[in-house]
Structure 1
Amino acid sequence: MGIAIEQGLFDQEFARDGIAVTSLRASASRDVRESHFDHRQPDSFRQGGSTPPIWSYAIHRDTRLIGLTWVDEYQAIIARLESGITEPRHLRNRRIGIARRVNDKIDFFAAMSLRGAHAALRLGGVDPGDVEFVDLPVQETYMGDSEESNSGQLWSGGHRARRQQVEPFALVRGTVDAIYVSGAAGLWMREFLGARDVVELGSHPDPEIRGSNQQPATLTVSAQLMADRPDLVERYVAQIAKAALWSQSNRAYAVQSFANEVGTSYEWADAAYGPRSHMLLVPSVQEPLVRGLVSHKNFLLEHGFIQQDFDVEQWICRDPLERGGWK
């Protein structure tokens, strides 16, 4: 979606209808921007990590899942060099820090961190009961006050930089022995701290190990818009697919777009998302991606991030992709 916004594809497509497509961050209202997490805004689309839309649907927010993408990224459990923790089995009887946003409805990064930790323990043959998970409370909310922008990015640089602040402080102070990191920011943090990978999860061959908030990412739409104007939804999806197909021949642009989106440099984005990331942006509802989403939903349910189960198949609407030929 970010590349489509940058290239003005939505503006070009809908201008003739007198329809303005704007970013949530274009609103000065924090309540409007919070729709990125709870999908409260009517006639809205959302593309991003799967934890908030799963939570929203579980509380009966009326949305439709219309596409999935899976771009692997660097994910790891890291520890200080002097800790002696060099592989997952060494996590037994150690402390893993998990930041907890005490003022947010859905704590997507805590879910990511916990799932990453459980994946590492599984690889090391360590029972989660043999590890101390240390909650690290964070008062600041994900959606802070921010200047208005129609770039499609919801967070300013400062707010983004503070997103994973408490965990590395705890690691340096020695109040925890290991933490989860991900993406370009995670790579940078590992190098800044002089830490080591206990295990790198993002390149593991098993999708159950790699699965997380972003793997797969979701594209959702308000159910009422899908019901009232399926033609608009199809045209919107077509612009995302158009940008994704263009990216396949323009890797440098795509990587720079990733960098812009997560607030980092080209170098870190290139290293974090791998050589094929630009080839994986066309949304689909293919079975492997759906299985990945079901797995993440089940993890969220098992660990209390959502309170009610649901059938993912009932959430999916395949019509926009199928009518556009973007299977």
Structure 2
Amino acid sequence: MPQAASRLSVSPDSVWYTRCPAPTPLSIAAQLGWVEQTFARHGIAVASIRDSRDPVVRQSHFDHHLDWSFRQGGNIPPTWARAGGARTRLVGLTRTDEFQAVIALPGAGIVAGHDLKGRRLGLPRRPGDRIDFQRATALKGIVSALEISEISVDDVELVDIEAATSALSTQAEAGPFALSRRLPYGEEIKALHRGSIDAFFVKGAEGVTVANLIGAQIVAETGFHPDARIRINNGTPRPLTVDATFATERPDLVADLIAAVQRVDEWAQANPADAVRFIAAEIGVSEAAVRAANGVEVHRHLSLTLDPVEIDAIAHFRDFLLQWGFITESFNVNDWVDPRPLALAHLRQPL
């Protein structure tokens, strides 16, 4: 298995990887077996951080402390980790826009953004998490919704909603209700129906599913806004990051990884139905929910880039996280970006 020692061989026996349950090319490449095949050609095994029984290893999904590891998923944990001193490199971004909205119950008199003035908006709070990325996600969604509605945060009441920790577990426990994942927003729905809040934020295919489940009123939607600083959130864009040891000692392997992940773009466009099926399986929702949340052309938005507009949006989001206390130190996002592996990957011949 990979080790977390400070000085490792330039030819590791194995590498770590992790991904979020989201529409990412890394997820599809992993499901297609391309990630394992890529490293197998070098005699290197691939180990999943999320599937490890060691909680210290699983924590690297959030803090990226393991050497010889790579990750693609939400951008709040890697931003938090980098701000905290994690030696990582941002080597690619995937922008797959998704449904983001503040929702309310029908008949509550909240049908548009300006109706949120003076209302109570639920904000999840998970004090057991090292980084409460779900709270940060909800807050950014609320702030963006208020901004496009020309309302200040001071014009609403943010109500804390205590929720269970989101720490990774090894497996669901056996039983009739055992699932590897469950839909989020359960505590918010309870609070909404109790009348202790008037609205809350949802996102992605799970958010679409929940909104439909309760017959919600869509109050303000930001996920497809033309301004990247409005739409950016934990899931838009999703960075591919590697640790500094990996990037420095074996940039050729990082380039091979990127080339394998980048193959998903062409494959998905040639196999749109399969791409949606893989995404739905990864998240644990219906294919219809994926299309509703990410658009019917989601299969055309699974490439890796280092788009300067998206990098600027990440810098804006870093400032947001700093302003609201989710991180305590700033850092230079441009210094975080390492464009060399992506450039090298573009020179690779298709496999």
TM-score (norm 2): 0.87
Whole-angstrom distance in 1 between the partners of 2:250 and 2:190: 49
For 1:153, the equivalent position in structure 2 comes to: none
Structure 2 unaligned blocks of 5 or more: 1-25
CA contact (8 A) 1:100 1:135 kept: yes
Whole-angstrom distance in 2 between the partners of 1:97 and 1:201: 17
Equivalent residue letter for 1:314:
D
Whole-angstrom distance in 1 between the partners of 2:182 and 2:50: 18
Number of residues paired by the alignment? 320
Q: 1:5 aligns with which of 30, 40, 57?
A: 30
Structure 1 unaligned blocks of 5 or more: 149-155
Residues 31-180 of structure 1: matches in 2 within 5 Å? 31-146=56-171, 158=179, 160-161=181-182, 163-180=184-201
CA contact (8 A) 1:142 1:163 kept: no
Residues 166-315 of structure 1: matches in 2 within 5 Å? 166-315=187-336
Equivalent residue letter for 1:11:
E
Whole-angstrom distance in 2 between the partners of 1:157 and 1:114: 30
Whole-angstrom distance in 2 between the partners of 1:38 and 1:75: 25
CA contact (8 A) 1:157 1:263 kept: no
Whole-angstrom distance in 1 between the partners of 2:314 and 2:296: 24
CA contact (8 A) 2:183 2:206 kept: no
Equivalent residue letter for 1:55:
W
Shift >6 Å, 4+ stretches: none
Equivalent residue letter for 1:65:
L
For 1:14, the equivalent position in structure 2 comes to: 39
* Richer in helix (by share): 1
Equivalent residue letter for 1:264:
V
Root-mean-square deviation (Å)? 1.8
Quote how far apart the aligned CAs of 1:121 are: 1.0
Quote how far apart the aligned CAs of 1:145 are: 4.2
Whole-angstrom distance in 2 between the partners of 1:294 and 1:257: 31
**1:236–1:181 Cα change, 3 Å:** same
TM-score (norm 1): 0.93
CA shift digits 1:131-177 (9 cap, x unpaired)? 100011123333234269xxxxxxx9746315322111111111100
Query: Secondary structure at the residue paired with 2:46?
Result: coil
CA contact (8 A) 1:77 1:198 kept: yes
Greater mean deviation of Cα atoms: 130-139 or 16-25 = 16-25
CA contact (8 A) 1:50 1:218 kept: yes
Whole-angstrom distance in 1 between the partners of 2:206 and 2:242: 29
CA contact (8 A) 1:213 1:296 kept: no
Identical pairs, percent: 39
CA contact (8 A) 1:215 1:292 kept: no
